[in-house]
Amino acid sequence: MFSEARQLLALISDSLSTLEDTCARNKTTIPNLREPFTPASEAFRTDPQAARAASIISAAALQLEAIFTAPQVSLYHIVAGSSKAAALRVCLESNVTEILREAGLEGMHVNDLAKINGQDPMKLSRFLRYLSTCHVFVELSPDVFANNRISSLMDTHKSVRDLLAQPEEKYTNTNGMAAFVGHHLDETFKSAAYAWETLVDPEMGKSSETTAAPFNKVYNTKETFFSYYELPEQIDRRRRFGIAMQGVEKMQPPSAILNAFDWDKLPSESVVVDVGGGVGAACLSLSEHFPGLRLVVQDLPGIIDSAHEVWSKRNPKAISSGQVLLQVHDFFTEQPQKQPAVYFFKHVLHNWSDEKCKEILIRLRESAGGATRLVLMESLISYSCHNPGADYTVPSNHVEAPKPLLANFGTVNEMGYVLDMIMFLILNSQERTFRGMDLLLRSSGWKIVGVRGQAFDSSFFQIEAEPI
């Protein structure tokens, strides 16, 4: 028998050959860690074979690290998560990425960097050196730092002069990634420190209420996460969160909405209802590619007001022609759109406990026709073990990672698991396994008939269900 390490090395070698051959065929390249991120640098992942090969390489390398690194060091990698987050927040809030971008490829000495952002250079060098050790930023020579592929993701692409003059506008008109990082390093990071205290709280620990989250304990509020953002004094956090969610949209595959369902097979004039659809980002894409569909975007009054502004700029003809209807609706109440072709949900159910999700889904089942389909875009959390049984696996073409890798590709596939933790921290809710989603839907009058997505990306699955 080959040792596990030899098997992992063979997986890396074989997968790298596959990746190189695929990139050569597609005229794409493997990214350079030292160069700033650009969307084009991720083009190689659009080929499923290349994406899988890259995931196998990463998973095998991380598993080798777990084998050969002293266990106390590996454990400390986890313990030190708070230290990494603290260092990263200092650099984000003090505009280090933008300052280093303006400095260019030669980088900048920490003394000069500190003169611009007002930080103590000795302390700032410690934060930057720690992050560089984790491959975020790079130390070119003693105390001289520059951006790399990972740190450049926090770049707002604004001038340092503008950032210093208008710090409250830091995230406005950006791609949302820096705002996404800022949100997680603020509310979510602080909430994480109170996870245990929340679980042992006699009132909060066993509660399924949205207001029983660690977020509520750390901010000492009875408001839900979203209603807390509506408080006047939280306007900056509310704005940052809205921009951050636009960043999340950019993280998903560009074709995720279009490939979520066979939209082109629906008859002309079929009605698609985007329930809890926000400002209608998903329907904007559908309206452009499938003009024969009638689209309804539903959400609460303030959000629908914002939706009118968005559509008036992006696709006013869709509104004036009647192709798209922006409708105020609370999804805990009776659904006004009866027997449509599709009820569509995008990252909605993960905001709610099973009890609340059942209320939402039962309302839809009551209004569905026999041919109505429910299409969900949600994370699906895979088990880390191999072959747990047919009742527990995702029923599609999702292939587990090859042994001896963890079946779920380990921390390469961490995003969905991180989202699961975040849902607990801020909303006392959850991402779900396939089995959990299946049981939830069946208890609400629906059954799953198909799943689309990639096993090595737990964040973006498309689930199709029909009425029972």
Question: According to the model, what pLDDT value does residue 362 have?
Answer: 97
Q: Would you say residue 433 has pLDDT above 80?
A: yes
pLDDT digits over 242-263, tens only? 888 877 766 676 678 888 899 9
Percent of residues, the chain, with pLDDT higher than 70? 94
Q: Would you say residue 396 has pLDDT above 90?
A: no
Question: According to the model, what pLDDT value does residue 336 have?
Answer: 97
pLDDT digits over 207-224, tens only? 989 999 999 999 999 999
Distance of CA 428 to the CA centre of its chain: 17
Phi-psi region of 118 (alpha: psi -120 to 50; beta: other; left: phi over 0): left
Q: What number is the average pLDDT over the span 6-33?
A: 96
**Residue 25, exposed/middle/buried by CB under 10 A (0-12, 13-18, 19+)?**
exposed
Cis, bond preceding 316 (omega within 30 deg of 0): no
How sure is the predictor about 398, in pLDDT bands with cuts at 50, 70 and 90?
A: low
Q: Would you say residue 458 has pLDDT above 70?
A: no
CA-to-CA distance for 198 and 201, rounded, in angstroms? 5
Question: According to the model, what pLDDT value does residue 238 have?
Answer: 86
If one counts every other C-beta atom within 10 angstroms of the C-beta of residue 139, the result is 17
Question: According to the model, what pLDDT value does residue 340 have?
Answer: 98
Rounded to 5°, angle at Cα 96 from 74 and 120: 85
**Which residue, 260, 300, 248, is CA-closest to 277?**
300
Q: Residue 45: what residue type? A: R
Q: To which residue do tokens 């933790």 refer?
A: 421
Q: What number is the average pLDDT over the span 418-447?
A: 94
More confident residue, 446 or 454: 446
Q: Would you say residue 293 has pLDDT above 60?
A: yes
Phi and psi at residue 171, in whole multiples of 5°?
A: -100, -10
pLDDT digits over 122-138, tens only? 999 999 999 999 999 99
Q: Would you say residue 289 has pLDDT above 70?
A: yes
Q: Would you say residue 439 has pLDDT above 90?
A: yes
How do strand 380-381 and strand 432-433 relate by DSSP bridges?
parallel
Mean predicted lDDT score pLDDT of the chain = 92
CA-to-CA distance for 129 and 339, rounded, in angstroms? 59
For the ranges 12-16, 93-97, 399-403, the lowest mean pLDDT is seen at 399-403
Answer yes or no: are the C-beta atoms of 431 and 423 closer than 8 Å.
yes
CA-to-CA distance for 185 and 92, rounded, in angstroms? 9
Q: What number is the average pLDDT over the span 392-406?
A: 71
**Which residue, 89, 117, 100, 78, is CA-closest to 181?**
89
pLDDT digits over 318-351, tens only? 999 999 999 999 999 999 999 999 999 998 999 9
Annotation marks residue 350 as catalytic: yes
Q: What number is the average pLDDT over the span 398-410?
A: 86
Q: Would you say residue 381 has pLDDT above 90?
A: no
Candidates 183, 329, 347, 350; catalytic one: 350
Calculate helix-pair angle for 354-367, 434-442, nearest 10 degrees. Answer: 50
Question: According to the model, what pLDDT value does residue 394 have?
Answer: 54
